[in-house]
DNA sequence: AACATAATTGAGAACCATTCTCAATTATAT
DNA sequence: ATATAATTGAGAATGGTTCTCAATTATGTT
């Protein structure tokens, strides 16, 4: 299958190749899906959407691809408490910008919020620094998330 | 089996009974385990330790009990990223005090920290309030956690 | 103290997201 | 065009957790 020179050629393929990994139709399909279909997609979501573009893709490949992209830092893997990982573009050309999540524990709706992000980032940076020093950890990531009931589920 | 009137009688049994649930040897064993064996135990950990006190206990019962205690607010269920839930007493008579977690993604060591807790709580409270108002969520809980490599794993 | 009844239990089966296996295919450097 | 290692699809396997169900038991009532 011919690889189209799309907008991905510029931003992601280089990163993939840089790690000695190959550009394949399956990876391209996943990339397209992630940039088209919004945030917090489950592997199954990605599989279904990618199948439209590339009908032969297998679910295992989707998992492997998402794992690779996560390792390369292109994708964020989220846990929103329902035993299914969710994926979205990490900060970068296709990303929505740094945000955190507010999750409804009843209907599983996920709201991305950016309110208080500056204060959060300041505190997170400060905490990371303090914890690194005190406990000797090299901190790589954090999770900050709120759970509750959305308006519809609360009533 | 006779239920001993131990220190739990005062703090937890009332809570359990208050919800129309019964005090049983299995629940007592889990309670003892949680108060004796430290933090962030997996269900399997709780099962093994509780089996010593009450050899007939079943794993399913441990899961059910931990779920119940979590629902009653006595226990916190944590996800530290390794596909096994972990449990510990929530804030209360037996709890260690409010803390957050620093997790080594290599050896899975978990450090409880309380540094910056005041600032964190302030920000969390403020954020919860802001998000409640803006998005109409009734926020019930939050997760704030750091991932990285501990000193031993980093080198 | 024994009864009635609904809650609880243990054991194993079932579930289900994810990972693994392996032979076949394919991207890429030469 | 070729060689080679990476990648793939399909289905099996994994493993933590939940479910099922008949048997047991805690608790309020007599």
pLDDT surpassing 60 at residue B10: no
pTM: 0.91
Q: Quick one: pLDDT band at residue B18, thresholds 50, 70, 90?
A: confident
- For the stretch B107-119, pLDDT in tens is 999 999 999 999 9
Extract the residue ranges of chain A whose pLDDT is less than 50.
Answer: 1-9
Strand-pair category, A75-79 with A85-89 = antiparallel
Q: What is the CATH number of domain B98-155?
A: 3.30.1490.190
pLDDT reported for residue B5: 41
Rounded CA-CA distance A37/A112 in Å is: 15
> What is the overall mean pLDDT for chain B?
91
Class of domain A1-93: mainly alpha
Inter-chain CB proximity A135 and B111 less than 8 Å: yes
Q: Name the nucleotide with the smallest C1'–CA separation from A27.
A: D7
What's the CA angle centered on B40, arms B38 and B42, to 5 degrees?
Answer: 110
Are the beta carbons of B123 and B130 closer than 8 angstroms?
no
The kind and range of the H/E element at A36 are helix A25-36
Mean pLDDT, range B43-71, rounded to an integer: 97
pLDDT reported for residue B13: 87
pLDDT reported for residue A1: 40
Mean pLDDT, range B55-77, rounded to an integer: 97
Interface test with B, best of A78, A146, A152, A155 (most B CBs within 10 A): A146
Inter-chain CB proximity A135 and B81 less than 8 Å: no
Are the beta carbons of B53 and B26 closer than 8 angstroms?
no
Q: What is the CATH number of domain B1-91?
A: 1.10.10.10
DSSP per-residue letters across B36-86:
HS-S-EEHHHHHHHHHHHSTT--HHHHHHHHHHHHHTTSEEEEE-SSS-EE
pLDDT reported for residue B4: 41
- For the stretch B82-100, pLDDT in tens is 999 999 999 777 788 889 9
- For the stretch B117-155, pLDDT in tens is 999 999 999 999 999 999 999 999 999 999 999 999 998
Interface test with A, best of B120, B133, B135, B151 (most A CBs within 10 A): B135
pLDDT surpassing 50 at residue B56: yes
The kind and range of the H/E element at B35 are helix B25-36
* Chain A residue numbers touching B141 (CB-CB < 8 A): 146-148
pLDDT surpassing 70 at residue B7: no
Q: Where are chain B's structural domains?
A: 1-91, 98-155
């Amino acid at each position: 299958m011919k690889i189209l020179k799309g907008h991905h050629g510029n931003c992601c393929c280089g990163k993939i190749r840089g790690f000695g990994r190959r550009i394949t139709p399956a990876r391209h399909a996943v990339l397209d899906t992630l940039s088209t279909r919004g945030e917090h997609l489950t592997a199954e979501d990605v599989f279904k959407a990618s199948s439209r573009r590339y009908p032969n893709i297998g679910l295992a490949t989707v998992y492997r691809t998402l794992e690779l992209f996560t390792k390369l830092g292109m994708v964020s893997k989220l846990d929103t408490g329902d035993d299914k990982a969710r994926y979205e573009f990490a900060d970068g050309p296709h990303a929505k910008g740094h945000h955190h999540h507010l999750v409804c524990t009843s209907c599983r709706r996920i709201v991305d919020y950016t309110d208080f992000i500056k204060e959060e980032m300041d505190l997170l940076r400060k905490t990371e620094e303090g914890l690194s020093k005190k406990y000797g950890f090299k901190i790589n990531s954090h999770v900050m998330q709120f759970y509750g009931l959305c308006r519809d589920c609360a009533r």
